[in-house]
Structure 1
Amino acid sequence: MPVRHVASFDIGGTNLRAAVVAVDDGTARVVSQRRQETPNHLILPAMSAAERLDAVLDFIVAAVSEARQSHVIDAVAAAFPGPVDAAGRIAALPTLWGDDGQALCPLALDGLLAARLPGLPICLFNDVTAAGHRFVGQHRDFALFTLGSGVGLKVFIDGQAQVGPHGAGGELTHMVFDPSPGAPACDCGGRGHLGALASGRAWQRVCAAAEQDGQQPDLDGFVEPLARAVAMLHYALGLELFLFSGGLSEALGETLRAAIVRRLPEQGWQCGQDWNAMVRLAPDDDAHALIGGALAACRE
């Protein structure tokens, strides 16, 4: 089969990223990429959700047009930080537009892109689902966490993402982990969710508070909800591989991984688990959703 070129997108809460990915016999490499700041609800609070959506669509269309100047583009793969249902509709995008854009959902984004990019196959993914497809050639049963603007999670069993008909699978990150009234607010509008407690934005908040108090940030305390989530998946599903990726994972690296491992023995029954072997860092090239989305698009 000839090499296929996919225009692949990772639409994050902090950055919009575009790449041309060459896929050849099940392997993929990034040929070129570009990025720009995401017009999210925190940096541009006056912009409406509809305006943010238009800005994202404009970015995708412009990047595809640029890619076509040097490559024959065979498909478009777009990964978004929200649940995607079986019909390809996005149920929510809280890290992009907070809770004020929920009126736009469920959003048939593949149709909007197809109208702007006629003739190109459009493949729409949750961002962590896309990222996970990079690893299914190496692993069959695993959980992938992404720690970025929010917290993403997907479980793969026998190489397939377990998302359910409404795309809710893996949204453990929007469960309440801190029920106290003063728990941090989540982008979705709730409080005390894992995504509000253990994201990159949450770590920035912890570091700022510690600096104000003249103390070091408490990393072991910060990662406890992540350790609890790992333990839940291990005890419920028997998973024994947990990969951590995303900007915060890359920034803290082994320090973060070791802290999670330290907090795991207190989470439940200890029956010989080798937590140190189970919890791993994904490669730190920050291209998982771009590469995984392209691979998945070529499999469809």
Structure 2
Amino acid sequence: MSGDGSPARPVYLIADLGGTTLRAGWARAGDLTVSGVRRVAVDGIARFPGLPTGELQARVVDQLVRLLGECSLAAPRSPSALAVAFAGPVGRTGTVVDAPTVWGRRGPELPLARILGREFAVPALVLNDVTAAGWRYAAPDGGEDDDYFCMVTVSSGVGNKVFRRGEVLLPADGRGGEIGHLRVDFAADAPRCDCGERGHLGAVASGRGALHAAGVQARRFPEAFARSVLSAACAGDPGRLSAQQVAAGVRGNDAFAVRTVTPGLRHLGRTLAALHTALGVGRFIVIGGFARAAGEPYLRLLGEEMTKASGFLLPPSEAAGLLQPGAPDDDDGLLGSLRCLERSGSPGAAVSRPALPADSTF
């Protein structure tokens, strides 16, 4: 019983594991707030680029278990269930199929839900991070207001998920919505994606892709770079630039920064235009650390590229209305996972739902 005599509400563990940052905390059933959130750099390919995939998998799992354990100790009572948003395609059985931004080249599939369920002895929900984010923005009743919207993330990688009336459009193996691995640059020296292939959308349009492009352009056009705010931000050394600095340059309409990200934006705009014209998606919610840091100028430029690709099907007056920024925080994966956990009918859940998304499991 709680202090006021009412039954104590169950507690959940919630985590969001991205390509760069791992976030974790705890929440009470019926309260869509994640408390005690801790943030750490992921022990993946970004920190340890030379390690084999299997070793990176082990490091990441150990780190996730450790951080969730710390959150469990900080929670008011033992958890009844847990949910993890993961940066990569996740099958219906809670198995991570692939995770290029986390551990690079493809390794063995990872039964993460089973591992976490065994470790914490509670039901474990594992779902793709962009899918999780979508549940934050989906209408509670999945009604007319939800008739087609697309989550788009531009962060360590690029990804998407399409939602329609309370359902995410995914096959059972969770492979849908991975536009970041669509090949858009067929040049022999195209930027290499974290998955190991060249020319993927994620390699040219993500935050990591923008940082790579900035370094290339800085060395190719040193005088233009010297006049840029990016040069001032890194003391003239392109090797010290960060993706966040490139994004800040775009937000400030710095000419060099804008020119740097334009090729990637063009490819992303064409891809989203294809989704709009093929499926009739009428709303794109753009999230992710890089897009959030680049702000309104980034969305405006992206809308212009969508218009160029769509022709008369998407006039300039309509493009701006299609693109919406996500919330000004980095809690999409956490809050979306919690909401999905509540909707799934987990122990103590406030809202029941007949079926889980295609890329999740208990």
- TM-score (norm: length of structure 1): 0.91
Residue 132, structure 1, aligned to residue 134, structure 2: yes
TM-aligned CA deviation for residue 152 of structure 1: 1.6
Residue 292, structure 1, aligned to residue 336, structure 2: yes
Residues 226-262 of structure 1: CA deviation (Å, up to 9, x unaligned): 1111101101110110011111011101011011111
TM-aligned CA deviation for residue 145 of structure 1: 0.9
Q: Which residue of 2 aligns with 1:276?
A: 320
Alignment of 1:1-300 (within 5 A): 3-24=9-30, 28-69=32-73, 70-72=75-77, 73-99=79-105, 102-105=106-109, 107-118=110-121, 120-137=122-139, 139-140=145-146, 141-212=148-219, 213-214=221-222, 215=224, 216-217=256-257, 218=259, 219-271=261-313, 273=315, 274-300=318-344
Is the alpha carbon distance of 1:256 and 1:4 closer, same or farther for their aligned partners in structure 2, counting shifts above 3 Å? farther
**Structure 1 consecutive aligned stretches of length 4 or more whose deviation exceeds 6 Å:** none
Backbone CA RMSD of aligned residues? 1.9
Select between 280-289 and 138-147 the one with higher mean Cα deviation. Answer: 138-147
Structure 2 CA distance, aligned partners of 1:186 and 1:43?
Answer: 16
Structure 2 CA distance, aligned partners of 1:128 and 1:36?
Answer: 19
Structure 2 CA distance, aligned partners of 1:223 and 1:23?
Answer: 40
Q: Equivalent residue of 2:33, what SS?
A: strand
TM-aligned CA deviation for residue 23 of structure 1: 4.5
Structure 2 CA distance, aligned partners of 1:111 and 1:222?
Answer: 37
Are 1:185 and 1:191, in contact at CA under 8 Å, matched by a contact in 2?
A: yes
TM-aligned CA deviation for residue 62 of structure 1: 2.5
Structure showing the higher helix proportion among its residues? 2
Residues 71-114 of structure 1: CA deviation (Å, up to 9, x unaligned): 23232111111111222221111111111xx3312x21111112
Residues 210-238 of structure 1: CA deviation (Å, up to 9, x unaligned): 33323313133331111111101101110
Q: Equivalent residue of 1:20, what SS?
A: strand
Structure showing the higher strand proportion among its residues? 1
TM-aligned CA deviation for residue 272 of structure 1: 5.8
Gaps of 5+ in 2: 1-6, 225-255, 345-362
Counterpart of 2:282 in structure 1: which amino acid? Answer: E
**Identity rate of aligned residues, in percent?**
31
TM-aligned CA deviation for residue 2 of structure 1: 7.0
Are 1:23 and 1:29, in contact at CA under 8 Å, matched by a contact in 2?
A: no
Structure 2 CA distance, aligned partners of 1:264 and 1:272?
Answer: 8
Are 1:3 and 1:22, in contact at CA under 8 Å, matched by a contact in 2?
A: yes
Are 2:17 and 2:86, in contact at CA under 8 Å, matched by a contact in 1?
A: yes
Q: Which residue of 1 aligns with 2:241?
A: none
Select between 176-185 and 274-283 the one with higher mean Cα deviation. Answer: 176-185
Give the length in aligned residue pairs.
Answer: 294
Select between 65-74 and 219-228 the one with higher mean Cα deviation. Answer: 65-74
Structure index of larger Rg: 2
Is the alpha carbon distance of 1:276 and 1:103 closer, same or farther for their aligned partners in structure 2, counting shifts above 3 Å? closer
Q: Equivalent residue of 1:115, what SS?
A: helix
Structure 2 CA distance, aligned partners of 1:5 and 1:251?
Answer: 33
Gaps of 5+ in 1: none
Q: Equivalent residue of 2:156, what SS?
A: coil
- TM-score (norm: length of structure 2): 0.76
